Amino acid sequence: MTNFPAAARLPFSAARLALAGLLLAMAPALAPAQSQNPQVAQTGRDTGAGSTVVPVSELSTIPAPAIAARAWISIDVTSGQVLAASNPDQQVEPASLTKIMTAFVAFTAVDENRLSLEQQVNVSEAAWKTGGSRMFIEPRKPVTVEQLLQGVIVQSGNDASVAVAEAVAGSESAFATLMNQEAKRLGMSRTHFMNATGLPDPQHVTSVRDLATLATHLIVNHPKHFHYYKQRDFTYNGITQSNRNRLLWADPSVDGMKTGHTESAGYCLVATAMRGDRRILTVVVGTDSEATRAEESLKLMNWSFQNFDTLKLFDASQPAIEARIWEGKAETVKLGTAEPVWVTVPRGRSGEVKPVAQRPDPLVAPLEQGQAIGTVALTLDGKTLRVEPLVVKETVERAGFFGRLADTVKRWFQ
């Protein structure tokens, strides 16, 4: 197997050579099958790898640390892979981690020009009277959308969260509907929101996997707004409050993200850090103190950075393979991935990743650019790290009658 993954750190020409080696190594799996069972190739049921994507820690000799929390998860944001987790799908109370979705919906409204950061917001009696942590907004006192967002993110203000909800949707209940629509769109299947604040409600639930999904989408989809999460303090109405995320002071690579706490939820933290070109995100919920949630999050984050590598395996601008196509105006078709593909592996094992492709056989024209034409699974020790669709990179039109006839004859002799 070619040591391609290590080539992501090599000079460009060396990386291109390594890519060529990988594609050659892939060729047997991607060539038209000579199988006795063509139905398997058509249906894609047999990829040659486990059908379940596994946490990368299952393939590491370094076990995940013991984390004193009700549930937790660590992911590599670049590859989107889960490094390790405990009770990732258990439904838990999100407390003020809810405000990640509150900000997400508000950022979307700003980016779609339905709201502006400079816009002044009227503070309602309902927002002003909201209990719990507060920004200390007041009716008839000017406040902008940007100030409210800093009140939500930095100060964790429940009053600010309600004011933002009302500015976006007219009421907090209508805003909760938007939150649940976004949760469904993002695939947060264990989540249901009842409010914009995270104040306790029996039906207000999520999971650490869903929170990691949400936080990742916020980082990726709203990069120009992400800077608020590393802001250490914010002053409004003559009152300065510090960000409750202790890791912003403990580790210079940490640049977010959000704390939460209620008596029933315990102390919770979504934390993220960038070291070099890698971003790790951790979610820890149900710890027993502010100090514990910070210490356990940093422990998990350090383990995640130290024991894994993340490498670019495919680039969307380059085809992964050229495969034989029949009855087309060309004899081959370029297949690749729609987006660049990164993969995270235990440190030192980058050269052991094996791509296992599954596609229909034979490929028959016409094929259109962007058309999905199978999958490629990236495996290690026979276990699937991730699966990506193979798509057609260039349209291949159907050949004329005589061209199709010639190919039909050729296939008889294959």
What token pair was written down for 308? 């894994």
Please answer whether residues 256 and 271 qualify as being in contact, where contact means their C-beta atoms are separated by less than 8 angstroms: yes
Q: For residues 373 and 269, what is the distance between their CA atoms, to the nearest angstrom?
A: 41
Q: At 202, give phi and psi (nearest 5°).
A: -55, -25
Read off the amino acid at residue 235. Answer: T
Read off the amino acid at residue 21. Answer: G
Is 129 among the annotated ligand-binding positions?
Answer: no
Q: Which helix (H) or strand (E) holds 385?
A: strand 383-392
Q: Which residues are catalytic?
A: 96, 99, 156
Distance (Å) of CA 89 to CA 70, 85, 116, 196, 282: 11, 9, 36, 22, 15
Provide DSSP, 220-285.
HH-GGGGGGGG--EEEETTEEEE-S-THHHH-TTEEEEEEEEETTTEEEEEEEEEETTEEEEEEEE
**Of 268, 313, 262, the residue nearest 6 (C-alpha):** 313
Please answer whether residues 48 and 356 qualify as being in contact, where contact means their C-beta atoms are separated by less than 8 angstroms: yes
Residues belonging to the binding site for substrate are: 258
Residues belonging to the binding site are: 258
